[in-house]
Copies of this chain bind each other. A is one copy, B any other.
Amino acid sequence: MESSKTVRKLEVASPVPADIDIANSVAPLHIADIAADLNLSPRHYDLYGKYKAKVLLSVLDEVQDSPDGYYVVVGGITPTPLGEGKSTTTVGLCQALGAFLDKKVVTCLRQPSQGPTFGIKGGAAGGGYSQVIPMDEFNLHLTGDIHAITAANNLLAAAIDTRIFHEATQSDKALFNRLCPPNKEGKRTFCNIMYRRLKKLGIDKTNPDDLTPEEVTKFARLDIDPDSVTWRRVMDVNDRFLRKITVGQGPDEKGMVRETGFDISVASEIMAVLALTTSLDDMRERLGKMVIGNSKAGEPITADDLGLGGALTVLMKDAINPTLMQTLEGTPVLVHAGPFANIAHGNSSIVADKIALKLVGSGGFVVTEAGFGSDIGTEKFMNIKCRYSGLTPQCAIVVATVRALKMHGGGPQVVAGRPLDRAYLTENVGLVEAGCVNLARHISNTKAYGSNVVVAINMFSTDTEAELNAVRKAAIDAGAFDAVICTHHAHGGKGAVSTEYSINSYQYYGCDARLSSFAIPMLVDLGIAVQKACENVTQPLRFLYPLDASIKEKIEAIAKSYGAAGVEYSEQAEKQIEMYSKQGFSNLPICMAKTQYSFSDNAAAKGAPTGFILPIRDVRASIGAGFIYPLVGTMSTMPGLPTRPCFFDIDLDTTTGKVIGLS
């Protein structure tokens, strides 16, 4: 294999500087160089400035006969306020594979929502010496995909209210006349998209004048039940005052007010469509099939019924191309799609993974991240994303930290802004061991899909040898293929790889000196562990449930994997399940909208709770994206801003043009 021309090894400083300072200390390569290293020529991509390029979907046609590389998914233990470093591990592992093990590798990441960047959260490009750069471009605007989603989502929303309004004020005949106006010769025609509705209605006529009055009514009057409209508007801003609003209060709207609200843009079904689509043609179909509510007779009304499937596709035509960026060590990254991990499936796009697998080819690696803990992210990765993509991962990583496991073992609460309890800063092997029940369940759940599970223990300076050994032992006992310490935050790629089994080698790679002072010296060889896991997979991909099971059977299979003793449905949930089954949507996969902070519905229940009854409060559907999503409790789909948002610190140095204060 030809050696990469773009990867480079970092000089690291200690203590680790601020993320933004590290990001700014490395001059990114021109993205054309990163592309060339993946054998992409300029006709395969569109540049967006010097450090971003959209890789065109058409690349897939050219490489369809090439072999795929290894496919690695990164999940985690149940998240805690302490942070486990999943994105950082994803990036660090790739830097190790690319810059130190000389493998072809592509990191596939979600595009972060821009809204939270200005609130509490800050950026999402990894951290320390494992980051995607330039981090300001990663976090802001990127190549406009989320803006395209916002525009498309809201065009559909405007069309819904306007159509209801026009139907309320016009006769069937007037509506029909406007929808199919006569041309100069007095001849009426259907436009292309209208044939989709005609087909759905079982009308096979091509001349509008041939429709019977009943057919005219059926065709022209969608008769949308305003109370059934589930389509909300979106905005990529943390705007809590838009969570619940009343629209239509202007005098021209004649009193047709309606209660609705805004979600953050990444919660749009269009984002989920982008993440799950496999081609332009497939995206066109999915966008057209999105259900926005029901007619008064209970029939689902789609974007195509409103005449919008084509226009939405046009708005999304560039968004379907993943964005190429780079890590600090010059390895390629594809950033694409970032659906909510609660009400959607929380995984980056299928098309980015597919392109990446072909580009790295046989023996190469694609590392893709799944949102939240593996109960949510990896489960949906397997049962929804892999089901639609047809791809099979060889290795699934579970990221864990000693301090987070201590919390699962019963450690004290962590409050933002207050100093950490000493339980997290000094050795407490008992707490760690107790918390490993959480890790163990994530391992066994993940292993059930057939992948080899590697546990990545993202090390902190306060972790002790005994604590780290406790995690490794628990992981192996629970069936992990391997469990490895990694220090990529402090060391970049070299913190996730070691090739020589001597103490000198750790020092050569600059890894934490403490590791070599342990009784049994510890290796930071996550890269090697992942490679071995991929090369030694023995099981085929197995799903948790078949698609042809009933909605309830599927929900119950997932609930069982959480440790639940049973499932309880609200009246509303029962009603919705019945409706979706009647409407013919029961064969879709299930996307549970559950808290990420516990296997159960109770965010406070750490560790590995059992015996609880999982309550299903409501059931909704993203028909275009292709899943049913039961709501286990209330999910906020629009974050807010704190009293002192981080936008106070963000500014532009107008002399250099550099962004400052972004974290």
Contact = CB atoms under 8 A, between A and B. Distances in A.
A192 B652 CA distance: 12
Contacts of A47: 46-49
A300 to B, nearest CB: 20
Copy number in the complex reads 2
B308 A417 contact: no
B154 A237 contact: yes
A62 B642 CA distance: 43
A248 to B, nearest CB: 4
A645 B311 CA distance: 11
Contacts of A259: 249
Most chain B Cβ neighbours within 10 Å, of A175, A281, A649: A649
A649 B193 CA distance: 8
Interface in A310-360: 310-311, 313-315, 317-318
Contacts of A280: 652, 654, 657
A114 B245 contact: no
Contacts of A118: 155, 311
Interface string A153-177: 0110111011101100010000100
A253 interface: yes
Given A144-B147, A147-B144, A647 B159 contact: yes
A422 interface: no
A657 B258 CA distance: 38
Contact of A241 (B236, B241, B248, B309): B248
A659 B314 contact: yes
B317 A659 contact: yes
Interface in A251-273: 251-253, 256, 258-259, 261
Chain A: interface size category: 35 or more
Interface string A223-251: 00000000001011111111111111111
B241 A258 contact: yes
A245 B245 contact: yes
A638 B245 CA distance: 18
Nearest to A242: B247
A631 to B, nearest CB: 17
A417 B249 contact: no
A642 B165 CA distance: 10
Interface string A278-315: 01110010000000000000000000000111110111
Contacts of A311: 118, 647-648, 650-651
Interface string A190-206: 01111000000000000
A253 B245 contact: no
B140 A315 contact: yes
Most chain B Cβ neighbours within 10 Å, of A58, A236, A242, A284: A242
A440 B175 CA distance: 44
Interface string A381-425: 000000000000000000000000000000000000100000000
Given A235-B154, A250-B240, A159 B645 contact: yes
Contact of A247 (B144, B241, B644): B241
Contacts of A529: none
A417 B178 CA distance: 11
A7 to B, nearest CB: 24
A161 B237 CA distance: 13
Contacts of A179: 643-644, 648
A258 to B, nearest CB: 7
A449 to B, nearest CB: 32
A252 B236 contact: no
B652 A314 contact: yes
A10 interface: no
A50 interface: yes
Interface in A18-53: 46-50
A640 interface: yes
B647 A237 contact: no
Contact of A651 (B151, B249, B314, B318): B314
A241 B256 CA distance: 9
Contacts of A236: 151
Contacts of A647: 155, 159, 307-308, 310-311
Contact of A181 (B242, B313, B317, B644): B644
Nearest to A190: B648
Most chain B Cβ neighbours within 10 Å, of A58, A179, A280, A651: A651
Nearest to A243: B250
Interface in A625-663: 640-645, 647-652, 654, 657, 659, 661-662
Given A147-B147, A249-B245, A311-B118, A640 B284 contact: no
A5 interface: no
A641 B147 contact: no
A74 interface: no
A379 interface: no
A136 interface: yes
Contact of A151 (B147, B148, B245, B649): B147
Interface in A116-170: 118, 136, 140-141, 144, 147-148, 150-151, 154-155, 157-159, 161-163, 165-166, 170
Contacts of A194: 648
A140 B314 CA distance: 9
Nearest to A193: B648
Given A136-B314, A243-B249, 8 more contacts: A46-B50, A158-B238, A162-B641, A250-B261, A280-B654, A311-B648, A313-B654, A314-B662
3 closest cross-chain pairs (CB), A and B: A310-B651, A147-B147, A158-B239
6 contacts: A147-B150, A243-B253, A244-B250, A307-B645, A310-B649, A310-B652
Interface of A: 46-50, 54, 58, 114, 118, 136, 140-141, 144, 147-148, 150-151, 154-155, 157-159, 161-163, 165-166, 170, 175, 178-179, 181, 191-194, 233, 235-253, 256, 258-259, 261, 279-281, 284, 307-311, 313-315, 317-318, 417, 640-645, 647-652, 654, 657, 659, 661-662
